[in-house]
Amino acid sequence: MKLYNLLIISILIVLSFGCKTKNQKQPNILWITIEDTSPQFIGCYGDANASTPVIDKLADEGVRFTNVFSTGTVCSASRFTIITGARTFKTGTGHQRSQYSIPSSIKGFPYYIKQLGYYTTNNSKTDYNIANEKDFVKQAWNESSNKANWKGRAEGQPFFSVFNFAESHQSRTMSWTFEQYKKHVWNHLTEEDRIPDDAFDMPPFYNDTPQMRKQFARVYNSIKLTDNRIGDLLQKLEDDGLRDDTIIFFFADHGEGIPRAKTNGINLGYRVPFIAWFPEKFKHLSPWKTGGTISNKLISFEDLGPSMIDLLGGEVPVYMKGKKLFNVNSKAKNELLLLSTDRVDNGLDLVRSVTDGKYVYSRNFMPFIPEVRYINYLEIADITKHMRSDLKQGKLNALQSGIFDTRPYEMLFDVENDIWETNNLAENPKYKSVKENMRQFLDTELLKVKDIMFMPEYEMAKISKTQTVYEYRLDETNYNFDEIYKVASLSGKKGEEVAKAQIAYLNHKNDIVRYWASIGLISQDKTLLQSYQKELNEALTDEYAPVSVSISAILYDKFKSKKAAESLKRFSVNKNKFLALMSVNYMLYINDKTPFINTIAELNQQKDLNGTVKNACKDFLEVVKQNKFN
């Protein structure tokens, strides 16, 4: 009998332990995301001019990461990778607000967290850059609105909540009028919180004038207000008795919202602040020590989704290729990261970058476009107007004026010793091995993933009507990326041998190959192309419109061809918005804009004009206006 009782007691103990293990309290997760912020403008990252005590305290008590990178340089492309764990160059989602379909198998990672019993909320930005976003959002979140929070969950249910703060957004730091900035930022700060115009160091690529300081102070004050708002949120967490049960993550969606940073494929566009804070009961979940630990672990936004799923005990879907950051049993780590930036609003571009944290290598596939390119949302800002005015008046030094010039096709910066990226090391023989290693990694990775963003958006839009470009790119008969990339890799390189090859590729049977041949020829010098005018004129009537647009720009800009000018004008009023946008963009960087002024003025008046094309028209007309009066 005693043996029987002992057996029963033992079984009850085991069952009790098993139930306790099964029902063990899971951590809540709070994501605090802020907009458009680089780490060098935050106190705990070394900026003594910044006032960010709330963020700094999270770092003092948690883990501060120094090598975290957004996979894109604008919010919509960046947020796509955050929410899906998939890369934009696989899914065709790199262009800002392009809204193409993605495979139904790719879901927002909170969907998988919901399956683990979590209550998922988003307050409130989505902007995921995909078609059918409403359905996607509904699937991922229990609540997604500007009122969403953890309070709607069931009793005892853990939550995963995102709060996005827009106070540091580019609108506040530069694009809104100064009056709007005062209303929405300055007037919400106490006198002691306000940072005056003379209380910070100016980045060296800006002219240090009173007008520029007045504008640049907006960065520090916007971040200060953001810090205050984060403090309010953390107090609510505390008031609800949840702080001790909640792991907190803080990060920005990409680099600082100022000219040359956001939208630009260099460290200033990619690198973000990132902090993790663990309450005492969940410190065992951190692979790092807490209490002010600094980690130089190399992390990209591709890692965030799979890391959250894995941390909470879920199964990471196979399409998510990022690292599981909290899995101590995983030997996988990032040695190098592949980053990317593409079209932002009306500003065309294609940059692919590689970083190891110390160096950032960028390959500019459209190097004829400057670092500070024409994007209407930047051009309406007073800070950009001051910069362009100083440029015209010859008040800028070589570094400050250089950001308005064409770019080298390769750039390499040592960001540990040159945080503002002032010294391009790409041609420095001392760094040859660094550059070649990163270039080889770039080439290998792009060929492996078959980067679909090398396809003209004109073509992507057509394909997306019947299938996803994610799937399309995997069929080599559809998308021969090896051949395309071989020609695209010539873009930006100059000289007789390269030009001869590009001219020959204008006769290739593949439309996209011919397109990249025409893009590459834009960077060749006029004198070198002089002997190829016959071939260029033949390509002017290429049946593939993106080729014809590019060749038109070359022939007019370098040889003042009237036929080419007429071709550009026709394309600018084309009903296909991608052809129109290409054409107007080329016009923006052509010196003599005279033949196009009336056409663009009339185009700008069209009531049904696509918004992105309209922004390009506005930039064109503003450039013409400024040149007229200067």
Q: For 376-387, what is each residue's pLDDT tens digit?
A: 999 999 999 999
Write out the two tokens for 460.
Answer: 């992507």
Could you report the per-residue pLDDT of 440-496, keeping only the tens digit for each?
999 999 999 999 999 999 999 999 999 999 999 999 999 999 999 999 999 999 999
pLDDT in the model for residue 9: 36
Write out the two tokens for 446.
Answer: 């792009």
pLDDT score of 7 more than 50: no
Which are the contacts of 497, defined by CB distance < 8 A and separation ≥ 6?
A: none
Cα three-residue angle 145-149-151, rounded to 5 degrees: 135
Name the residue with higher pLDDT: 2 or 308: 308
**Region of residue 492 (phi > 0: left; psi between -120 and 50: alpha; otherwise: beta):** left
Q: Which of 92, 571, 26 is nearest to 246 (CA)?
A: 26
Rounded to a whole number, what is the distance in angstroms from the first to the last CA of the chain? 105
629 — pLDDT class (breaks 50, 70, 90):
low
d(CA 630, CA 313): 63
pLDDT in the model for residue 630: 54
pLDDT score of 614 more than 60: yes
Could you report the per-residue pLDDT of 28-68, keeping only the tens digit for each?
999 999 999 999 999 999 999 999 999 999 999 999 999 99
- Full-prediction pTM beyond 0.85? yes
CA distances from 179 to 172, 318, 382 (A): 10, 49, 12
pLDDT score of 265 more than 80: yes
d(CA 235, CA 95): 38
pLDDT score of 23 more than 50: no
pLDDT in the model for residue 2: 43
d(CA 392, CA 369): 18
Domain ranges of the chain: 26-353
- In whole numbers, what is the pLDDT of the chain averaged over residues? 95
Q: Which of 205, 329, 227 is nearest to 275 (CA)?
A: 227
The dihedrals phi and psi of 406, each to the nearest 5 degrees, come to: -60, 150
Q: Could you count the other beta carbons within 10 Å of the beta carbon of residue 465?
A: 8
Q: Which of 469, 64, 579, 473 is nearest to 273 (CA)?
A: 64
d(CA 627, CA 313): 61
Q: Which of 371, 366, 336, 341 is nearest to 354 (CA)?
A: 336
617 — pLDDT class (breaks 50, 70, 90):
very high
Q: Is 17 helix (H, G, I), strand (E, B) or coil?
A: helix
Could you report the per-residue pLDDT of 552-567, keeping only the tens digit for each?
999 999 999 999 999 9
d(CA 468, CA 466): 7
Could you report the per-residue pLDDT of 314-354, keeping only the tens digit for each?
999 999 999 999 998 888 889 999 999 999 999 999 999 99
What distance separates the 2 farthest-apart alpha carbons in the chain? Answer: 107
Q: Which of 238, 262, 258 is nearest to 248 (CA)?
A: 238
d(CA 486, CA 470): 21
pLDDT in the model for residue 49: 97
Query: Element (H or E) spanning 12, and its range?
Result: helix 2-22
d(CA 195, CA 219): 10
d(CA 380, CA 382): 7
Could you report the per-residue pLDDT of 88-112, keeping only the tens digit for each?
999 999 999 999 999 999 999 999 9
Cβ–Cβ under 8 Å, residues 81 and 443: no
Find where tokens 């103990």 sit: 13
**Region of residue 114 (phi > 0: left; psi between -120 and 50: alpha; otherwise: beta):** alpha
DSSP secondary structure letters along 55-96: HHHHHHHSEEEEEEE-SSSSHHHHHHHHHHS--HHHHT--ST
Superfamily per CATH, domain 26-353 = Alkaline Phosphatase, subunit A (3.40.720.10)
pLDDT score of 535 more than 90: yes
pLDDT in the model for residue 328: 84
Q: Could you count the other beta carbons within 10 Å of the beta carbon of residue 590?
A: 17
Cβ–Cβ under 8 Å, residues 375 and 74: no
DSSP secondary structure letters along 171-201: IIIIIS-HHHHHHHTGGGS-TTT---TTSSP
Could you report the per-residue pLDDT of 106-163, keeping only the tens digit for each?
999 999 999 999 999 999 999 999 999 999 999 999 999 999 999 999 999 999 999 9
Strand partners, 330: none
Could you report the per-residue pLDDT of 239-252, keeping only the tens digit for each?
999 999 999 999 99
Render the burial of 423-441: b for 16+ CB within 10 Å, e for the rest.
ebbbeeeebeebbeebbeb
Q: Is 446 helix (H, G, I), strand (E, B) or coil?
A: helix
Write out the two tokens for 74.
Answer: 């604008």
Q: Which of 616, 562, 560 is nearest to 587 (CA)?
A: 616
d(CA 144, CA 127): 12
How, if at all, do strands 63-69 and 299-300 pair?
parallel
CA distances from 283 to 62, 244, 247 (A): 9, 11, 9
